[in-house]
Amino acid sequence: MTGRFAQLAFTQDVQRHQREHGSDRAYRRMMEGPGDPDRIGEDERAFIETRESFYLASVGQTGWPYIQHRGGPPGFLKVLDEQTIGFADFRGNRQYITVGNLDHDERVSLFLMDYAHQARMKILGRARVEEGDSPPAVADYRAKVERTVLITVEAFDWNCHQHIPQLFPPPGGGGCAHLDAGTHRAAGAGTARGPRLSVETTPTTAEPLLIEPDRRTS
């Protein structure tokens, strides 16, 4: 965790809980660094620009947090410079909750996952919206770009891999299979709105198996 992330995340209430549970001494040093925004390095750039999806959190006028999934081809989330990232916001269900929340509060949190390598990255920043197509759009992707969202990065944090399920996309895409060697179970129930994911492993299998999605619906 960077010092800037700790400064933003470790509020007085958070620090009180850390003291009560004995973790304050380890985290206290993280807050002693400079208060300058974090700068995106080459490792962060490589991770960010290979994501096919991420989660974006904002806060509305009611004070309730809202989290939304954003997806596209690898590279749709771009690093524009060492403190700015941006993405093409493709047309979805046209509820515009995130866009409306940004009119109220520009602060956002991004959650980026790499399930195959059990890695995750969190980003805190300030977002602004530019309507219409612009450079972060991805060529040859069949989706309408309604706007571009640009985010000035304030801080980021790499998390440990603890408790992250290891998932791999099956060949050709179309979903992820849950990898649980030694267990026979279904990773998804399957509905009219999504594929059923079947997982098949053998009790003696040392390596997880990649399973094609069962596209039947219930």
Identify the DSSP state of 206: S
Q: Which of 86, 205, 207, 198 is nearest to 149 (CA)?
A: 86
What SS3 state is found at 97?
A: helix
Prediction pTM value: 0.76
What does the DSSP 8-state code read for residue 13?
A: H
**Which two structure tokens, joined as six digits, stand for 116?**
């195959």
Sheet of 53-59: strand order equals 65-71, 53-59, 107-114, 119-131, 145-159, 84-90, 77-81
Tens-digit pLDDT string for the chain (218 aa): 889 999 999 999 999 999 999 999 888 888 887 889 999 999 999 999 999 999 999 999 999 999 999 988 888 999 999 999 999 888 888 899 999 999 999 999 999 999 888 999 999 999 999 886 665 667 677 878 888 999 999 999 998 788 888 888 777 655 555 544 433 333 333 433 333 333 333 333 334 434 344 433 33
